[in-house]
Structure 1
């Protein structure tokens, strides 16, 4: 890796690679941990029991795999279509989702061999309905009007791309949401990705939210979404850690409402040692699974996987899969000394994601 002051052409200054790796792992593990905590499973299962992951975590895993696949193709000199890779990944997910335990025909991508993905773990009606069209929706021709939080949550792994190319990360986040959800989910998903990406880079909650807002304005993200986050910042500054304020600001499970709630919980308890308090606050939201999951992802992105409750993280049934995906995702968004990115030169890595 280039030193911060000696980056090659087109390579931005980087923070320590180990920190970035921990934060990308924190992003994905935090989503899973937050979704488990929001479901109440961690409090009802025995202390040593395996904890079942949630559907937003499943979808995020397929987003991560699609992002890695696109990056590998680009590094090999192709002209990959990120939207097509996302659509193909979600189609694979829905085939597994509806296979009732039967493994689908493999595409060569290793996620097809994970039995846990063939076990429905919740409801994802909006996503399934959106994918039923076959071609999915676009930003100009949506297939549903849904504005649910799954569109935002599943886009969060795209935050690993923000340091490398924020405009492309925003474009992919909107495309991801548009495949199955309506326009009201587009801007919140894009802004959440920018905030999470800034958290991975800075390691600071306050700086990440401020940087995410600034980047969103510069990249033309709908100002209504920016206003939502700005309002959550104001609420956290004036009346932090209030369940009453949280319930008022995040009354439903829409993408915008979930982003408001997660931002409020994040800024109310911004410290690396305050994850427990942030999750406890998220648990008071009307739609606690949504707010808890996104809060966990943002906390993990800022502070790394070590800041998350390890007694939950290590018991999530999908933890190994999440960890491998996060490590590959971080590697694909790390610059090489020659100015290239990722690990496309590694044939094992290519084979893992179905690329010859």
Structure 2
């Protein structure tokens, strides 16, 4: 007779698995971008520097939490507007049109410290970590709530910075495209952001192996296959042609895994669609838990290794969890603690709403100060 499972233990285990995978997604994207920038050969000692995609992804994650907080306390929220505010805080910290940012967001609240929230106090987020020209150009145009600032860019940052949106659940997948559209007007870039969010959702929710000896490589490829199948097939955002390209990348990974020529064919440039195709191919070429570092080093060989390895790390981290990431490298990453904190806070917001709501008192009196709902 099978022993009955303790419901409380099952909830705790489920929560631990979810948190590990959310941590894996955020930490994986950061480590991937860093290894990609180093072409797979980072320095042997010393801190590993974050890239600009990782900085922006931090503010996406923070913006998602703040949008949820606002929705619960105000009853209404436009998440893209809250995330745009997050990107403007990043820009202000970077010294990009800081005066214009302050006039746009804080001129009517003279008594408020701005930029606000705990993330604004992280020194590494105020340091230049590479170029994000389309994002910077768009944010530099910020004036009023109704201004259109997006450029026609198809650049990879439309995708890499929006990867954390997948954590919020399938209902937010379309929001990934809207977050990308804040600065990148190209429809293919926006579509790639949506597709990445769907794939990552399926990686985050993929079933675990029944025993440690089960082939975990099947889980990765099955999750990616299920994600592709769930994408739009030509209706709305995401065309049938884009769907077929993703399916082809997955077939290449099965039939011709880890070939540099295939990687260069799928990801020839620094665009959002190339980052997604290359990251998908690299992740599915090295699908097993113990292959995660090898996958990142392979992805780093793409023409734009930063973005491809960033996507690869997010996909595999979401499947296998944070514990699968290489400790010797991860422990040296300058934003590892920041990303780990954001991941844990995302989990807490999704599972337990620490600040409560308009009608229910929260259990954490400092949550609103950490994540003001605006």
Find the counterpart in structure 1 of residue 211 from structure 2: none
Out of 345, 348, 356, the position equivalent to 2:366 is: 348
Structure 2: 5+ residue runs without aligned partners?
A: 103-112, 209-218
Aligned-residue offset at 1:230: 1.1
Which range moved further: 200-209 or 26-35?
200-209
Structure 1 residues 69-218: aligned runs within 5 Å: 69-98=66-95, 105-134=113-142, 143-162=150-169, 166-167=170-171, 169-181=172-184, 182-202=186-206, 204-217=219-232
Q: Is the 8 A contact 2:91 2:97 kept in 1?
A: no
Deviation string 1:312-343 (CA, Å, 9 cap, x unpaired) is 1111111111111111112222268xxx9x99
Find the counterpart in structure 1 of residue 214 from structure 2: none
Structure 1 residues 266-277: aligned runs within 5 Å: 266-277=283-294
Deviation string 1:106-153 (CA, Å, 9 cap, x unpaired) is 343111111111111111111001112216999xx7731111111101
Find the counterpart in structure 1 of residue 351 from structure 2: 334
CA distance in 1, matches of 2:328, 2:145: 39
Aligned-residue offset at 1:249: 1.3
Using the size of structure 2 for normalisation, the TM-score is: 0.82
Q: Is the 8 A contact 1:228 1:256 kept in 2?
A: no
Return the index of the structure with the highest Cα Rg.
2
Which range moved further: 195-204 or 64-73?
195-204
CA distance in 1, matches of 2:230, 2:12: 18
Aligned-residue offset at 1:228: 2.3
Aligned-residue offset at 1:220: 4.3
Find the counterpart in structure 2 of residue 311 from structure 1: 328
Deviation string 1:275-308 (CA, Å, 9 cap, x unpaired) is 1221122122111111111101111111111111
Aligned-residue offset at 1:346: 2.6
CA distance in 1, matches of 2:96, 2:196: 32
CA distance in 2, matches of 1:60, 1:129: 18
Structure 1 residues 247-286: aligned runs within 5 Å: 247-286=264-303
Find the counterpart in structure 1 of residue 213 from structure 2: none
Q: Equivalent residue of 1:16, what SS? A: helix
Find the counterpart in structure 1 of residue 31 from structure 2: 33
CA distance in 2, matches of 1:332, 1:43: 37
CA distance in 2, matches of 1:306, 1:90: 29
Q: Is the 8 A contact 2:40 2:296 kept in 1?
A: no
Taking only aligned residues, the RMSD between alpha carbons, in angstroms, comes to 3.0
CA distance in 1, matches of 2:13, 2:273: 30
Aligned-residue offset at 1:41: 8.2
Using the size of structure 1 for normalisation, the TM-score is: 0.86
CA distance in 2, matches of 1:317, 1:90: 20
Which range moved further: 320-329 or 224-233?
224-233
Number of matched pairs: 335
Q: Is the 8 A contact 2:296 2:313 kept in 1?
A: yes
Deviation string 1:213-238 (CA, Å, 9 cap, x unpaired) is 23322784412432221110121122
